[in-house]
Structure 1
Amino acid sequence: MTIGVPKEIKIGETRVSMTPSLCRRVTSLGGKVVLEKGAGISAGFTDEQYRTAGAAVVSSAAKVWKTADLILKVKEPQESEFTLMREGQTVFTYLHLAACPELARELCRKNILGLAYETVEGPDGQFPLLKPMSQVAGRLSIQIGAYLLQSQLGGSGMLLGGIPGTMPGHVVVVGAGNSGAHAVRMAAGMGARVTVLDLDTRKLEVIDQEYRGKVVTLVSNPANIEQQVAEADLLIGAVLIPAAKAPIVVSRKMVAQMQPGSVIVDIAIDQGGCIETIHATSHENPTYKQNGVIHYAVPNMPALVGRTSTMGLTQATEPFVALMVQKGVERALAEHKGLAKGINTRNGRITYEAVINALGFDS
């Protein structure tokens, strides 16, 4: 098997889908790696490190796509990459097809076996390849939000941790999954007042026990959300359903009640966002203001810390990549039910129910 590693081209992307360590693992198992020149530079890995690990380093993405049986990426193929995809190829990456109908159609048109990191399941029914980036995004959301609250950036001038004699900032996190829980951890660590809302009381119980009542936990219903959003200095949208379009839980009317200079960071933007006033931004133009509220919604937020994110992602993908090298893609999918859950497109059709429901078509 030949695995292709093209350089990521989404705006501001710094991650790479394969480290030299993973490359060495693949080649030791008898696989071949073809890597585009400079693919790992922004994550801190040189071409020479990949050559030493056994990779063939080539001059263009076109050569990678032409040679590889399996394309290993971080972000979904961009429009300029559509023409590079070969009929019947396998692509293993974050696909987020619920927010990308054009990509879904192209994968089907070319009979691409689309394996989505975000729907691969572990033996416990969790999502091991979604988890590390959710953790990074959750922690970054507080770091970014705290920065955007600064006066010179148009924020309210609120220091999240406050100082003695002043009120700390109020952070409201909607969603207590992986990303939300890590946002709570960072916000609490900075000394902010933190409120977290979720429908699942079990998640709220875990947070309540961990922070011994220092974090306010509320059931996520419209009344509670409306009240807390209105009082938030920093609002984190962290409602994410793997592969499905994110539900809107914070309405336009709720956002209009927020104080000028407050900040929204929507982690769920990969799946369309969970806040009605949100739309995707980029690392080049990460924010916009609406109703006086700063909105941040960069889909590839973890690229801000490319080294950490690359290490976290590739450690999670390595067992699955190694399995496919050892057994071949089809046999690996047949034998590993969790990996097979990653199939989003196959034989010209969308196969993952949540994606079908989100897009309204299955081919």
Structure 2
Amino acid sequence: NGVYALENKQIYLSKDAGKTWSEFYNIGDVDNIVISPDGKKIAFSKAVHIENLLGKDKYKDLPKTTAQIYTDLNHRHWDAFNEGSYNHVFTVDLSQTVDQAKDLLEGKTFDSPQKPFGGTEDFVWSPDSSELLYVTKAKSGAAYAQSTNTDIFAYNVVSGKTQNLSEGMMGYDVNPKFSPDGKYLLWNSMERDGFEADKNDIIVMDWNSKSKTNLTKAWDESLSGDVAWSSDAKSIYFTSAFRGTKQLFSVDLKNKTVKQITKGDFDINEIVLENKGKLWVTKTDINHNADLFEVDSKGSLKQITDINKDNYSKLVQGKSELKMVKTTDGKEMGVWFHYPPNFDPNKKYPTLVYCQGGPQSALTQFFSTRWN
């Protein structure tokens, strides 16, 4: 279809790798735009006001009031109060204006993409462009606040019917992705409702029969990052927190064998693409921000970008070392020791002890500019 770009609420299309551009569609003020494979339909999300929870909305004669009125959960999510608007996913045909778009969650107090962090990964077109898959937690009020049971729904743009693809799966089902040949659909799945940090598995659905397989059920670790299909659709790449780091793994679609590809004191974060049998990924460690690396099947890493080379050359960096510490219940706990630059083992230094919150995520070799 070419390359798409968004500017001033207008989608532009280039069919010559960005040399020339033409107007494609006037999309307006929306978020998370996903164009169908056949280039004839667009999915997007937009905040829709459904509930009057602000005083000025509930009482029109009090336009200056700052009161917020709640009689049920969920009144706040992460860093924002619920002001009565919900993220809804829409579809529109290119022959229509954006005002004619279909709201797939019309009138419902559900979010898709999910709050607070959901984006375009929460909805995807089927390969033939006949169905739009989206993720939502179909619950409201206290039931919403207490549950992690999201589902993956498939909306048929021809019939207007919706099917719950993860019906009967009671945990956190997210991140649907079709295989390159269009025969399979994968998603991330937690088994139990209410468990934010349950084991995260890879579910694969045969798109024709709708039969489902848990590829990582027998694997005693948990998916904890990116996931991507191989170009031949015979295996799946993913990242997982492992021994104080985040490493790259693969799982075979046929025999369900999980293979660790990379090893080292670093994190593999994003799987960018597959190029001639090799993967391009982003890699970090405690001293280095993300850069692109090429990974071969044996786990050998070749650096592609070095964006902060000049900045790093001016710094003296401290080393980090993973040590195993005996716990009071007789088990071993991994602890990262981060030493100051020019560390002298014969000197005494003040020590800062950092205990990672969780258990949603592990303390690994991530590079962060956050306060914690």
Q: Which has the higher contact order (CA 8 A, sep 6+)?
A: 1
- Shorter-chain TM-score: what band? under 0.3
Q: Which protein has the bigger helix share?
A: 1
- When normalised by structure 2's length, the TM-score is 0.25
- When normalised by structure 1's length, the TM-score is 0.25
